[in-house]
Amino acid sequence: MGSKFVLRATFFLFLVALFIKAKAADIDIKKFGAKADGKTDDSQAINSAWKEACTSATPSTVVIAKGNYMVGPVKFQGPCKAPVSLRVEGTLQAPAEPEKLKSQDGWVIFQNIDALSVSGGGTFDGQGSIAWSKNDCAKTGKCNSLPISLRLTGLTNAHIQDITSTNSKLFHMNILNCKNVTLQHVTINAPGESLNTDGIHIGRSTNINITGAEIQTGDDCVSIGDGSQQINIEKVTCGPGHGISIGSLGRYHDEQPVRGVTVRNCTIKNTSNGVRVKTWPASPNGVASDLHFEDIIMENVTTSPVLIDQEYCPNGQCQAKMPSRVKISNVSFKNIRGTSADPVAVKLACSKGIPCQNVEISDINLTCNGKNGTCTSVCSNVNPTVTGKVIPPACSAKTS
Ligand SMILES: *[C@@H]1O[C@H](CO)[C@@H](O)[C@H](O)[C@H]1NC(C)=O
Ligand SMILES: *[C@@H]1O[C@H](CO)[C@@H](O)[C@H](O)[C@H]1NC(C)=O
Ligand SMILES: *[C@@H]1O[C@H](CO)[C@@H](O)[C@H](O)[C@H]1NC(C)=O
Ligand SMILES: *[C@@H]1O[C@H](CO)[C@@H](O)[C@H](O)[C@H]1NC(C)=O
Ligand SMILES: *[C@@H]1O[C@H](CO)[C@@H](O)[C@H](O)[C@H]1NC(C)=O
Ligand SMILES: *[C@@H]1O[C@H](CO)[C@@H](O)[C@H](O)[C@H]1NC(C)=O
Ligand SMILES: *[C@@H]1O[C@H](CO)[C@@H](O)[C@H](O)[C@H]1NC(C)=O
Ligand SMILES: *[C@@H]1O[C@H](CO)[C@@H](O)[C@H](O)[C@H]1NC(C)=O
């Protein structure tokens, strides 16, 4: 009897200890003086809380509770001694004036951290409207003068879920030099007219999984740059925006291959583009292979919803006559259905220098708005394999 009581009491104390330990690991930024009044700069409080969490030998959680926090540039810098979580329940607001972030290429930066987790249902508000009116990137061709809202650089084994990025000044998120990162149920929004507000850009990263994102923005919903490998994009809803793109590739020297991209079970609605692979003419040699697009619904997509464009040359900033030397191979477009506002629903414009190889088209059903519902396909420098029922009928091979 007595020993049973002792056992129970010990177990109870053990539970209490566990609970206290879990509690102790929560680090609220208010403890470091965050005001959450939407006016006072709370960056210092976040930095201090992060420092405590990152130097802790046991796992800990930085908590940003409900409220509005005005913050300048913030850097969550690793490596940390143990896994750190960030629970954002409130809203972080960037200064509206781009000058206040001038020295930085990002607003909120996560760098060199292993096993980071971010969650909490909160919002990162880039307050971009002033910045959009100052964006002269189309004129100057220099598009990096505004800060990206969320930079994920050098992360391994990160899990980001249930957060929102709104009204970024430039890209919402840039994932660079990362390995094994999952973004689950992320919400992204900015007006369709906001310039260069790409949703999620991925570059030089391996094993990135984006699942369940809702993206409404003024540029590509997801764009995949050079050096991306094993990228999985699924259950993403995109629109307004410019669709889901691989590229552009071939603009710069020393670009690394893109290999292994799957875009599956996505809806692309009321966008300027659907799914596309774009490379610049007159490019250095490059590689894009194993690119798979399947189970995709298109609604009212303005320009060819299925597109390979190896003559990508926005604002005439290229030598359009020279072929792209990015080799595209092992590509499939499967089970893609819906509507196109462009009578050319499927356009495969491959390079006359290096034709596309092993392209498969299967089970396509795209109808065109306007006209009488019929669409066409055009191809150059590619001889696609066609299986299943393909509407509009696939182009016949043509070499220019
Ligand atoms: C990837 O990261 C997750 C944490 O987000 C971790 O649970 C998983 O084990 C990692 N996978 C590999 C292969 O390292
Ligand atoms: C489609 O997008 C345009 C431009 O972003 C917008 O004006 C229009 O209301 C949208 N239509 C629908 C049905 O969402
Ligand atoms: C992507 O992440 C989701 C949610 O964690 C998971 O269900 C899915 O299996 C992952 N996919 C890949 C290819 O890792
Ligand atoms: C995505 O998958 C779910 C579950 O299988 C299905 O209900 C939905 O229609 C799919 N959406 C698309 C765009 O394929
Ligand atoms: C189709 O998209 C165009 C341009 O984005 C927009 O003006 C129009 O309202 C959309 N139509 C439908 C039916 O959504
Ligand atoms: C394309 O796929 C085939 C098998 O389906 C494979 O042998 C080949 O290596 C792949 N090519 C590239 C460039 O990945
Ligand atoms: C193609 O889509 C149209 C419009 O949604 C539909 O009426 C038609 O039955 C579909 N055709 C096939 C073969 O699935
Ligand atoms: C309407 O569809 C028919 C085939 O069904 C085609 O021959 C004709 O050119 C189309 N007209 C227009 C204006 O697209």
Provide the residue ranges of all domains of the chain, joining segments of one domain with +.
2-132+146-391
Residues known to be catalytic: 242
Instruction: Tell me the average pLDDT of the chain.
Output: 92
pLDDT computed for residue 102 by the predictor: 75
Residue 317 carries which DSSP code?
-
CATH code of domain 2-132+146-391: 2.160.20.10
Cα separation, 25 vs 385, whole angstroms: 56
> Could you give the 3-state DSSP secondary structure of residue 181?
strand
Residue with the bigger pLDDT between 175 and 318: it is 175
Q: How far is the CA of 301 from the centre of ligand 5 (A)?
A: 8
Q: CB of 49 within 8 A of CB of 28?
A: yes
pLDDT of residue 314: 85
| pLDDT-derived band at 1, boundaries 50, 70, 90 | very low
In the prediction, which pLDDT does 400 show?
A: 39
The pTM (predicted TM-score) of the whole model is: 0.91
Q: How far away, in angstroms, is 209 Cα from ligand 3 center?
A: 6
Residue 367: is it exposed, middle or buried by C-beta count within 10 angstroms (0-12/13-18/19+)? middle
Structure tokens at 221: 């919903």
Query: Does an H or E element contain 175, and which?
Result: strand 173-176
Query: pLDDT tens-digit profile of 142-171?
Result: 776 799 999 999 999 999 999 999 999 999
Q: How far is the CA of 164 from the centre of ligand 4 (A)?
A: 23
The Cα–Cα gap between 288 and 268 comes to 23
What pLDDT does 18 receive?
53
Residue 372 Cβ contacting ligand 8 at under 6 Å: yes
Closest residue by Cα to atom 1, ligand 4, is 265
User: What's the mean pLDDT in 289-299?
Assistant: 98
- Which comes out higher in pLDDT, residue 97 or 24? 97
Determine the Cα–Cα distance for residues 349 and 337; give it in Å rounded to an integer. Answer: 20
User: Is the model more confident about 253 or about 138?
Assistant: 253
CA 235 to chain centre: 13
Give per-residue pLDDT as tens, 28-61: 999 999 999 999 999 999 999 999 999 999 999 9
Q: Tell me: the pLDDT tens digits for 341-365?
A: 999 999 999 999 999 999 999 999 9
Which residues approach ligand 7 with their CB closer than 6 A?
Answer: 365, 367, 389
Specify the DSSP class assigned to residue 33.
T
Q: Are 288 and 250 in contact (CB under 8 A)?
A: no
**Tokens for 368?**
């065109």
Instruction: For residue 86, give the nearest of 44, 120, 126 by alpha carbon.
Output: 120
